Amino acid sequence: MSDIRKVVLAYSGGLDTSVILKWLQDTYQCEVVTFTADIGQGEELEPARRKAMQFGIRQIFIEDLREEFVRDFVYPMFRANTIYEGEYLLGTSIARPLIAKRQIEIARQVGADAVSHGATGKGNDQVRFELGYYALEPNIKVIAPWREWDLTSREKLLAYAESHGIPVEMKHKNGGSPYSMDANLLHISYEGKGLEDPAREPEADMWRWTVAPEAAPDQPQYLELTFEKGDAVTLNGVSMTPAALLAELNRVGGQHGIGRLDLVENRFVGMKSRGCYETPGGTILLKAHRAIESLTLDREVAHLKDDLMPRYAALIYNGYWWSPERQALQTLIDHTQQTVNGWVRLKLYKGTVMVVGRESRTDSLFDPTIATFEDDGGAYQQADAAGFIRLNALRMRIAARLQRQG
């Protein structure tokens, strides 16, 4: 007899978690509470409620977390210009700590003694969810069905669903299991099917948010983003909430084929995996943020941020959002953003984002009287550079003399 009386399941209503819901009921004989987070996946969530009710679920939580997601998770991450392994904008990774946080809060609210998720035993998400659970509720019990059951493939899941009367949408048009997808306001990801062959080009009809760059408009589109303390607050002069602004950047960027990525990445659990991502708004936002920082950050502060960014990115990718070291880094990063104020103008054209203007009226460190190629009126003494160069060359001159003597 299981000692689990009530479990809160992170429930999307898709294939995996629909099977998990029924499996939890049958295997643990416990009450299941479902939690569905609206973080901008762009799908109707009421079907998840209806599915849960179909299986007798009495406590169903469907919550709009879009603003919290962008304001408290995406924006802080973008203040650090965060990318993993040089390319990935961490769209899936950054959503997991928010889901874990709210799931634990619901578990406390309903008196549950366990939480459950649909992440597989091969992936990163199991780590991200569970590190979050334990950081926020050290004694919580975790049920990870993929590490317990014998349903080891998408095909077995589909067979289980059919035998238990579980409705499944989005079967692939050519038969078999669909792509494994994750979507939120920052991105949509694709894994599985033909993508498991890294040499194979993705199917053209796989992409959902972006047009192919070659099919994008023949005329460029200009955008202007205004930043306050490192966060984008207006688009083309219109004040927007974080979620609304990112959604609009996704829409416009998608029209111009911006933000596609085909990546083989190193998972935390040790294997390499191939995934494809669409992150149109995030791609634009990152470009703009770096542009305004180029005006407003001291050189050594900017370089320090760049040095720390890969470590910060790895913490998020590996699930350590709630760790003391990530929070310490965030404090430093946020401190650097106090002067990151101003506007950036960008040109979108056939899959590219180009910075074509930037200005900070209050915090710019760019001094045109010093940087000019024209007469600077003595603002910069060029003769000073000779001693600067000789001092910086001193160690190399000493080493060169020694080599010649040898």
Positions marked catalytic: 16, 96, 125, 180
| Separation of CA 390 from chain center | 46
| CB contact at 8 A, 74 and 37 | no
| Separation of CA 125 from chain center | 13
Q: Looking at the chain, how many residues does it have?
A: 406
| CB contact at 8 A, 168 and 48 | no
Distance of alpha carbon 96 from alpha carbon 73, whole angstroms: 10
Sign of CA dihedral 168, 171, 176, 180: negative
Distance of alpha carbon 60 from alpha carbon 33, whole angstroms: 6
| CB contact at 8 A, 278 and 207 | yes
Bridging pattern class, strands 342-349 and 260-266: unpaired
Q: Which residue has the tokens 């001159």?
A: 397
Helix, strand, coil percent values for the chain (each to nearest 5) = 45, 20, 35
DSSP-assigned beta bridge partners for residue 277 = 189, 261
